[in-house]
Structure formats: structure tokens, C-alpha cells
Amino acid sequence: MTLELKDITGGYTAVPVIKNVSISVAPGELTGLIGLNGAGKSTTIKHIIGLMTPFSGTVAIEEKKLKDDPEGYRKLFAFVPESPVLYEELTLREHIEVTAMAYGIPKKEAFQKADRYVKAFRLEEKMEWFPAYFSKGMKQKVMLVCAFMLDVPLYVIDEPFLGLDPLGIHTFLEIIQEKKAQGAAILMSTHVLSSAERECDNFVLLHEGEVKVAGTLNDLQTEMSMPDATLDELYIQLTKEGNQL
Ligand SMILES: Nc1ncnc2c1ncn2[C@@H]1O[C@H](COP(=O)(O)OP(=O)(O)OP(=O)(O)O)[C@@H](O)[C@H]1O
């Protein structure tokens, strides 16, 4: 299993925000992390990328844990946040260089890898631009280039659909298919359930900090006794007050 969260309980104060969260993502699989505002998606992601330490439970990427080898662990994944975080004083070219350095990739190889994604997101004329001149969507594309240029086993992508234009989304989904075919595991959090339903192999439905149901769409429909329901319908049902799953 590429990503394995076992019974993660954690939060910002003594009060847990996520409770006994278990998630597995296998190589070549795209898993959608679905939940309302405040459900605990970002908190779960923070535990995966090592920004938070769980009160209890374990997180492993390819069976490696952060505490055993922090530097090695960090090279196993690439994270794309919802709100792009770029260095204001660095150009796109320099962002690629810094990413290569952080992951220990020779510069030449990094540019060879990045080139395909720079072109795919139509940024080739903007290599010398600083982030101040980029639109929000362009900034997100820079983050995606810096993630996809890395051949890592796991990609963690927070809400990719809201900042990108339709062409950007199309390119993003094509790259995701390629990465899956190469054996990468992808965990993607999103509110865009129609896209998630079309694209994801598996789903984790998080509600009030707990995994309510997980699996393929078929698994979800069976477990919730809603055989023909869309992901949207399943999720609405799940979030209805008093629903006991
Ligand atoms: N830095 C923080 N300090 C304290 N509580 C926080 C912090 N960040 C989030 N929380 C709380 O943790 C809970 C889960 O929030 P989280 O950001 O994980 O939700 P989310 O599913 O990512 O939501 P959204 O879809 O709005 O991004 C919420 O109750 C939120 O108020």
C-alpha cells in the first residue's frame, strides 16, 4: 500500500478534530477525500504531510514513517495545496530549481522532467516571470508543475478543480491518468463531486472528523443501500442530521 493511515486521531488542541481516521491508497489509484467545510480534510492532509503529529495512530508511505526518517519520508510525496504558496522573489524557472534541490534531483534532469508539464500548462513563455505577475490559476499550475516533475510514489492534491480553467482541468486530469499508469498513488480532496465521481477510483467520505464510508462508488451505494445514487446524493444523505451509519 502506498499510503496507509491507521486510526489517526488528532487535532489542534486537546480536543480531537479527526477521530480514528483510516485511509489506504494503493499504487495506481486515485482516491477522493470528500467532506463538507470543516469535515477534517485539511487536518487529515496535514497529518499525512507531517505538519501535524497524531495523538494516536500511524501514517506510513510505502511503509515508512516520518519519525523514522523525516528527510526520506518527505521525498516520498508531493503536496499541492489549494491556495498556491510560491516564493515571491523567485521566477518560475527558479521554483523548478528549488524543487529539484529539495528532492535531490540534478538540475538538467529536473528541467527535462518539468518541460513537459510547463508546456502542458502553457507556461513556457513565463519561465522568467515572478509570482506577482501570475493569476491565481497560473500560480496553481506552477505548483502542479513543481509536483508533477517529481517521480514520487504519492501525490496529495488539495482541491484542484476550483482554481483551474477548463483547459487546465483537462490537462491536470490527463497527467493524473499518466501518473496512475506509472503506478503513483493520488489522494485528492475536492468539493466538486461530479468530477470526483467521474475520475476517482475510490472515495473516503469524511464527516465531522470521522470516515463514514469508504470504497468504490459501488461499495458506497451498497453500504448505504442506495444502489443507483450519485456521489452527490450519497454525500447529502450521509450528512443529514441524525443519520447513523
Ligand atoms: N489551525 C487551526 N486551529 C484550530 N482549529 C482548526 C485549525 N484548522 C482547522 N481547525 C478546525 O478543525 C476542523 C476541521 O477543519 P479542516 O480545515 O480540516 O476542514 P476541511 O474539511 O479541510 O474544510 P474545508 O473544506 O473548509 O477546507 C474545523 O472544525 C476547524 O475549525
174 C-alpha vs ligand 1 centroid, how far in Å? Answer: 30
Give the CATH number for residue 65: 3.40.50.300
Predicted TM-score of the model (pTM): 0.95
Residue of 42, 51, 52, 190 to mutate, ligand 1, most atoms within 8 A of C-beta:
42
Number of independent structural domains in the chain? 2
- CA–CA distance, 199 with 193 (Å, rounded to integer): 10
3-state secondary structure of 222: helix
Render pLDDT for 138-160 as a digit per residue (tens, 0 to 9). Answer: 999 999 999 999 999 999 999 99
Strand 30-34 and strand 18-25: the pairing is: unpaired
Same domain? 71 vs 135: no
Same domain for 91 and 65? Answer: no
Is the same domain home to 220 and 171? yes
Same domain (yes/no): 141, 186: no
52 plus 157 within the same structural domain: yes
Q: Of the residues 150, 171, 195, which one is the last residue of a structural domain? A: 150
Cell of 122: 502553457
Strand order in the sheet with 154-158: 77-80, 154-158, 185-190, 30-34, 202-207, 210-215
Is the domain of 30 the same as that of 144? no
> For 96-135, what is each residue's pLDDT tens digit?
999 999 999 999 999 999 999 999 999 999 999 999 999 9
Q: Which three cell numbers stand for residue 138?
A: 497560473
Give the residues surrounding ligand 1 with Cβ less than 6 Å away: 12, 17, 35, 37-43
Q: Letter for the amino acid at 5?
A: L
Identify the residue with better confidence: 240 or 117: 117
The residue whose CA is least distant from atom 28 of ligand 1 is 38
Tens of pLDDT along 198-229? 999 999 999 999 999 999 999 999 999 999 99
Ligand 1 pocket test: pick from 13, 21, 41 the residue with the most ligand atoms within 8 Å of its Cβ.
Answer: 41
Contact 142, 120 (CB under 8 A): no
| Residue range 21-73, pLDDT digits in tens | 999 999 999 999 999 889 999 999 999 999 999 999 999 999 999 999 999 99
Q: Containing domain of residue 21, as a range?
A: 3-76+152-243
Whether residue 26 contacts residue 188, with contact meaning beta carbons closer than 8 Å, is answered with: no
Residue 189: pLDDT band by 50, 70, 90 thresholds? very high
C-alpha cell at 10: 488528532
Domain-ending residue, one of 150, 173, 194: 150
Q: Identify the pLDDT of residue 244.
A: 52
Pocket test for ligand 1, best of 5, 12, 51, 205 (most atoms within 8 A of CB): 12
